[in-house]
Structure 1
Amino acid sequence: MAHYIGIDVGTGSARACVISEAGDIVGLASHDIQKWNDKHGYYEQSTTDIWAAIGKAVQQAIREIDPTSVCGIGFDATCSLAVFTQQGEPISVTPPNFKVDADARNVILWLDHRPEAETALINRTNHPLLKYVGGTMSIEMEIPKALWLKNNLPSETFANARFYDLADALTFLATGDNSRSFCSAVCKQGYVPVGVDGSVKGWQADFLTSIGLTELCENDFVRMGGVNGVNGRFLTAGEPVGKLSETAAAQLGLPAGIAVGSGVIDAYAGWIGTVGAKVDIDPKWRDESHEAGDVSQAFTRLAAVAGTSTCHLAMSPDPVFVPGVWGPYRDVLIPGYWMAEGGQSATGELLQHIIMQHPAAKELLMEAERAGQKVVYEYLNGKLKKMAADAGAPDCSVSWLGRHFFFYGDFFGNRSPVADSNMRGSVTGLSNDISVDNLALQYYGTMEFIALQTRQIVSTMNDAGHRIRSIFMSGGQCRNDILMALISTACDMPVFIPRYVDAAVVHGAAMLGAKAASHAGGQGESLWDIMARMSKPGSTVYPSSNLTERKLLDVKYKVFLEQCEQQQRWRREVDEALAGTKP
């Protein structure tokens, strides 16, 4: 029996997943990776540390199978920038020394916010290319980070630097072929598909020149991956990149020569691992897409990949431009189709922050331990349900508890649809209560915010021309029953939860390995056919039929929008009043 391996590199860990030809997971392991945060807004990792963690995870995941049965490997990773010399040595991104050595912290993590000035400069150009990233370049993207490196690296170091999206860096380490750079995230890096809007080489030389990165245009953009068919290869998801090298095979405990598929950003692997599932649905919520069976089925399905942050992915047959939503990007997953990517910069991280910063955090942890609950949110959800029952809330609705608590949670800036990294959190309804009950109320308010902002993203996408009718979740947040119910009711659409709740992303990466292996005999199987065959449906959450709860969430959504608009207006008024004042 053939097996395929998926490798997922997230913000905090590397995971390896082994699947069978039927898509069943037969091996799963993870290993923590390091994240350095020496300075506010600076987040760094090391590809050396990441690769070591991948090796340990793979060796553990393949214990129950014959390693020679592995036919393909696929990678996904966060959309982070990895930097190497032209010779393949890691370059440190840590100021002020910027060393070049094997253990260098050479990855600027996606959530790093150091290039504020560079991001502002890029967006002031108003270059037409920016419409392909939602109208503005996000501080989370890689071009602002590359520009920061030009402004801060020693000039001779920058002149010898080569830039990779992290998923491509991993395929480089796996195959030994460093001819690809930026390519799995090419859509986000100043690239317009050839033939679209007059694009000839994909990369836009006038854009790179206008922001001060002329060096990256040299030799047909070789330091960014080159020009497709000239000095580079641009592949869609899972297409074979090469073979597992002798060196990498020894580090992973596998035989050399295994097919390695073109990698993707981790959220896209979540799309691959979920939206192809054959699901049963209540007739009330069924539309033609649930009967289609082919790739058109994906056009009404939003993939929401919820971890530290949440990404919202939708495919369309034609380009749909949505303010504040990244894309549309063509050919990223399936040739000829376009992807849009909304997102919330912090969801899992925000929930943890709200819990741990509350004065009752220690008391909560002790209460949960006494109750035998290892997962804090499960304890809090139970507590909220009891609080609602004790308060005589209509139908014991938890949302009733937060009816006069108004929480806005863009603590880490706004990715979509406002696209403003300066957005921050706000709250109305605070008291001097420092009890665990008050902590539970603030925790509920955070979940409500996540659900309402999801509605804002989905509504903005549909208003622009998408036709999203259902949400396919993945990630650990799927286990949070109150949050899933809030998202379903706030958005008024069913939420589908995969069978492999915690492994949907790495399961999707393994499908990339299956895609790469399928090319051994010729043209290869389509990624959609692989998804339809291997995806595993789980459970479904439908919108609440409680009219009181629905009316409450509708009015809370109106307040949520006002909180967002009000914060922006207040900032403008203050900035106008202080215009010309030096800091």
Structure 2
Amino acid sequence: MAIVIGVDIGTTSTKVVAFDQNGQAQASANHGYPLIQTQPDMAEEEPETIFDAVCLGLREVVSQIDASEVNGISFSAAMHSVIVMDAQNQPLTRVLTWADNRGAKFAEQLRDTPQGRVLFAHTGVPIHPMSPLIKLMWLNHAMPAVMAQAAHVIGIKDYVWFRLFGEYVQDYSLANATGLFDLKTQDWFPQALALAGVSTDQLPRLVAPTYHQTGMQVDLGLPKATPVFIGASDGVLSNLGVAAQKPGTVALTIGTSAAIRTVVEKPVVEPDGKLFTYYLAPDRYVVGGPVNNGGVVWQWAQDTFLPKGDLPALEQLITPVKAGADGLLFLPYLGGERAPLWDADARGSFIGLTKQTTDATMARAVLEGLCFNLKAVLEMVSAVAGQPTVIHATGGFARSQLWKQMLCDILNVPIKLPDSFESSALGAAVIAMQALGMISSLDDVQQMVGSTTTLTPGPNAAEYQRLWPIWQGMNAQLAGTYQALADFQRQ
């Protein structure tokens, strides 16, 4: 048996999965780590803790299989992270994750300017505090002494790679997500670097996702000759891992956050700056919208006003409530929002509360609000890349029959759900499989995703179509109030 191991360095955990040549998982491990949030808008992690999780996961998986059958390892990683390193290759900062919003005022000052529009046109990255470009602008302002010592500015996968091989490299896909990379030249963009206050000498060397090395400096129970591939970002690899790698198909992921993405053959930059465009492979780019408020919002509902139990256990509570939650609307902006609003100050709302509102009504409204927000992103993606014929969805939400069907009804598009939830890890493995000659094309992933469940819109779809313009109107009405409210909360 030929094995390739996919390593997915995520926001809250690292998942390691060993796949055979048919894309079937043979072993897996998952190690989590805490998000550090001791200040408003802060979202950091310890780089060494993440590196330990990667190593623990790899050792655990290797112990479950025959190490001699491992043909290679390949990486996926969350986008938009920043670590500042000194000349002795020691971290001067923790990992600033995509969720760190402390650079919000710099994004606001830049977003609607001619300079901001030029940056977006070249980089394909919306002007938002998630972007390493904005994070570096903030770091130069808030921590000038730290930036004065900066010998290297990297992301979390670059840190892991350096610990394994002693070199700083970054794949085109993750580089594309920094806001510092020019889609047109496939190189660092000088105007963005000047704004961020960094030079090419401080940034990793750019490489293709198929770039690989041998001779790891850490013993993980594998032969030294095992090739390790740099891989790509979790977003584009998730498309690949659910076989949504061709134009016309859309990938939807709901994890802690959420995203909707589709593949185009040439870079397409959405004119209003509200969608990203990221490199996947030659002649394949992923256009989409990332959403801050995914499963984390449902977790908030469980922690705040619902009885204990997971979503499948709570379906008996929610199911009797009619579609539309008796007219109770929910705007799910508990952590600011990227797509569709791109407003770090956005705040959540229940609208339509009455004396008849119950916990069950509110719970259904939360799920519907999450789905309506994704519909808003889907409409933006469709305007650029065309209407999808099918959506390939993955994530923990798929364990709930109620949520799956609700999403299908609200989006009003058929949804396919693969059995495997580890789409980014599989996508990483497929990149390595093609490079190793185990498969002839990335399109061979179509045979790897296993059996799928297909849902079609049901009777509730018509009710949600009636409610959709009301939800949109409420969303638009409140959009202008968020900054003042956020300022009051900070004070």
Q: TM-score, normalised by structure 2?
A: 0.91
Residues 114 and 342 from structure 1, CA distance in 2 versus in 1: closer, same or farther, beyond 3 angstroms? same
1:207 partnered with 2:192: yes
**Secondary structure of 1:333's match?**
strand
1:347 pairs with 282, 286, 294, which one? 294
Partner residue in 2 for 1:63: 63
- Give the Cα–Cα distance (whole angstroms) in 2 for the partners of residues 527 and 465 of structure 1: 21
Per-residue CA deviations over 1:61-112 (Å, capped at 9, x if unaligned) read: 22232112211111112112233224422222xxxxxxxxxxxxx2011111
Percent sequence identity is 19
Residue type of the alignment partner of 1:416:
A
Residues 47 and 256 from structure 1, CA distance in 2 versus in 1: closer, same or farther, beyond 3 angstroms? farther
Aligned length: 483
Residue type of the alignment partner of 2:473:
E
Partner residue in 2 for 1:309: 257
Partner residue in 2 for 1:90: 91
The answer as to whether partners of 1:13 and 1:33 remain within 8 angstroms in 2 is: yes
Residues 135 and 2 from structure 1, CA distance in 2 versus in 1: closer, same or farther, beyond 3 angstroms? closer
Cα RMSD after superposing both structures:
2.6
How far did residue 7 of structure 1 move? 0.9
1:512 partnered with 2:431: yes
1:223 pairs with 197, 202, 207, which one? 202
The answer as to whether partners of 2:171 and 2:231 remain within 8 angstroms in 1 is: no
Partner residue in 2 for 1:554: 465
**Secondary structure of 1:72's match?**
strand
Partner residue in 1 for 2:37: 37
The answer as to whether partners of 1:316 and 1:466 remain within 8 angstroms in 2 is: no
The answer as to whether partners of 1:75 and 1:171 remain within 8 angstroms in 2 is: no
The answer as to whether partners of 2:214 and 2:224 remain within 8 angstroms in 1 is: yes
Structure 2 unaligned segments of length 5 or more: list them: none
Per-residue CA deviations over 1:92-136 (Å, capped at 9, x if unaligned) read: 2xxxxxxxxxxxxx2011111111222223324334121356684
Residues 571 and 33 from structure 1, CA distance in 2 versus in 1: closer, same or farther, beyond 3 angstroms? closer
Which one is further off, 19-28 or 146-155?
146-155
Partner residue in 2 for 1:256: 224
Residues 571 and 272 from structure 1, CA distance in 2 versus in 1: closer, same or farther, beyond 3 angstroms? closer
Partner residue in 2 for 1:143: 133
The answer as to whether partners of 2:95 and 2:155 remain within 8 angstroms in 1 is: no
The answer as to whether partners of 1:302 and 1:468 remain within 8 angstroms in 2 is: yes
Residues 76 and 427 from structure 1, CA distance in 2 versus in 1: closer, same or farther, beyond 3 angstroms? same
How far did residue 539 of structure 1 move? 1.0
Which one is further off, 167-176 or 42-51?
167-176
2:116 pairs with 126, 131, 143, which one? 126
Structure 1 unaligned segments of length 5 or more: list them: 93-105, 226-231, 277-294, 369-375, 389-397
- Give the Cα–Cα distance (whole angstroms) in 1 for the partners of residues 448 and 229 of structure 2: 17
1:188 pairs with 177, 184, 194, which one? 177
1:268 pairs with 229, 236, 240, which one? 236
Residue type of the alignment partner of 2:40:
H
**Secondary structure of 1:22's match?**
coil
The answer as to whether partners of 2:150 and 2:202 remain within 8 angstroms in 1 is: no
Partner residue in 2 for 1:115: 103
Partner residue in 2 for 1:240: 211
Per-residue CA deviations over 1:182-233 (Å, capped at 9, x if unaligned) read: 7442212334547x3xx5x732223332x3x34x23xxx12123xxxxxx33
- Give the Cα–Cα distance (whole angstroms) in 1 for the partners of residues 265 and 287 of structure 2: 11
The answer as to whether partners of 1:8 and 1:76 remain within 8 angstroms in 2 is: yes
Matches within 5 A, 1:379-528: 379-385=313-319, 387-388=320-321, 398-399=322-323, 402-431=325-354, 438-501=358-421, 503-518=422-437, 525-528=440-443
The answer as to whether partners of 1:77 and 1:264 remain within 8 angstroms in 2 is: yes
Matches within 5 A, 1:64-79: 64-79=64-79
**Secondary structure of 1:554's match?**
helix
Residue type of the alignment partner of 2:110:
I
Residues 190 and 15 from structure 1, CA distance in 2 versus in 1: closer, same or farther, beyond 3 angstroms? closer
- Give the Cα–Cα distance (whole angstroms) in 2 for the partners of residues 273 and 135 of structure 1: 23
The answer as to whether partners of 2:250 and 2:261 remain within 8 angstroms in 1 is: yes
- Give the Cα–Cα distance (whole angstroms) in 2 for the partners of residues 566 and 383 of structure 1: 31
Residues 561 and 119 from structure 1, CA distance in 2 versus in 1: closer, same or farther, beyond 3 angstroms? same
- Give the Cα–Cα distance (whole angstroms) in 2 for the partners of residues 554 and 40 of structure 1: 37
The answer as to whether partners of 1:167 and 1:263 remain within 8 angstroms in 2 is: no
**Secondary structure of 2:247's match?**
helix
**Secondary structure of 1:315's match?**
strand
1:565 partnered with 2:485: no
- Give the Cα–Cα distance (whole angstroms) in 2 for the partners of residues 355 and 488 of structure 1: 23
- Give the Cα–Cα distance (whole angstroms) in 2 for the partners of residues 490 and 333 of structure 1: 29
How far did residue 154 of structure 1 move? 4.5
- Give the Cα–Cα distance (whole angstroms) in 2 for the partners of residues 164 and 193 of structure 1: 17
- Give the Cα–Cα distance (whole angstroms) in 1 for the partners of residues 163 and 172 of structure 2: 15
Residues 561 and 305 from structure 1, CA distance in 2 versus in 1: closer, same or farther, beyond 3 angstroms? same
Residue type of the alignment partner of 1:224:
L
**Secondary structure of 1:562's match?**
helix
**Secondary structure of 1:471's match?**
strand
The answer as to whether partners of 1:324 and 1:417 remain within 8 angstroms in 2 is: no
Per-residue CA deviations over 1:275-298 (Å, capped at 9, x if unaligned) read: 25xxxxxxxxxxxxxxxxxx6xx2
The answer as to whether partners of 1:167 and 1:265 remain within 8 angstroms in 2 is: no
How far did residue 172 of structure 1 move? 2.6
**Secondary structure of 1:381's match?**
helix
Residue type of the alignment partner of 1:405:
L
- Give the Cα–Cα distance (whole angstroms) in 2 for the partners of residues 304 and 174 of structure 1: 32
Q: TM-score, normalised by structure 1?
A: 0.77
Matches within 5 A, 1:287-306: 298-306=246-254
Partner residue in 2 for 1:279: none
* Stretches (4+) displaced over 4 A: 132-135, 191-194
Is the strand fraction higher in 1 or 2?
A: 2
Larger radius of gyration: 1
Partner residue in 2 for 1:2: 2
**Secondary structure of 1:453's match?**
helix
